[in-house]
Amino acid sequence: MRITLNAKCRLCRAAGSKLYIKGIRCNSSKCPIEKKGAVRPGMHGIKNPSKPTDYGIQLRAKQKAKRIYGVQETQFKNYYTAAKRLKGLVGDNLMILLEERLDNVLYRAGLASSRSFAKQITSHKHVLVNGKVLNISSYQTKIGDVISFDKKTIDRIAESIPAAENDFKAPQWLDLNRKDYTVKIISSPLKEEITNDIDVNLIIEYYSR
Write out pLDDT tens, residues 151-181.
889 888 888 899 888 889 999 999 999 989 9
Q: What angle do CA 131, 135, 138 make, to 5 degrees?
A: 110
> If we measure between CA atoms, which residue out of 71, 57, 81, 152 comes closest to residue 116?
71
CATH number of this structure's domain 1-51, picked from the four choices 1.20.120.430, 3.40.50.720, 1.10.3470.10, 1.10.1050.10: 1.10.1050.10
> If we measure between CA atoms, which residue out of 33, 37, 79 comes closest to residue 198?
79
Average pLDDT, the chain: 84
φ, ψ for residue 58, nearest 5 deg: -65, -40
* Burial grade of 79 (CB within 10 A; 0-12, 13-18, 19 or more): buried
* Burial grade of 48 (CB within 10 A; 0-12, 13-18, 19 or more): exposed
Domain 101-187 has CATH 3.10.290.10: yes
pLDDT at 47 over 90: no
Give residue 20's pLDDT.
Answer: 57
The model's pTM: 0.79
Q: How confident is the model at residue 138 (pLDDT cuts 50, 70, 90)?
A: very high
Lowest mean pLDDT among 20-34, 39-53, 85-99, 109-123: 20-34
Domains 1-51 and 101-187 belong to one CATH topology: no
Fold that domain 54-98+196-209 belongs to in CATH: Ribosomal Protein S4 Delta 41; Chain A, domain 1 (1.10.1050)
Instruction: Return all residues near 121 (Cβ < 8 A) that are at least 6 apart.
Output: 106, 112, 127, 149, 153, 157
65-84 pLDDT per residue, tens: 998 999 999 999 999 999 99
- The stretch 113-132 carries a mean pLDDT of 94
- The stretch 62-67 carries a mean pLDDT of 92
According to the per-residue pLDDT averaged within each range, which of 28-32, 42-46, 84-88 is highest? 84-88
Each domain of the chain, given as residue ranges in start order, spans 1-51, 54-98+196-209, 101-187
Between 110 and 22, residue with greater pLDDT? 110
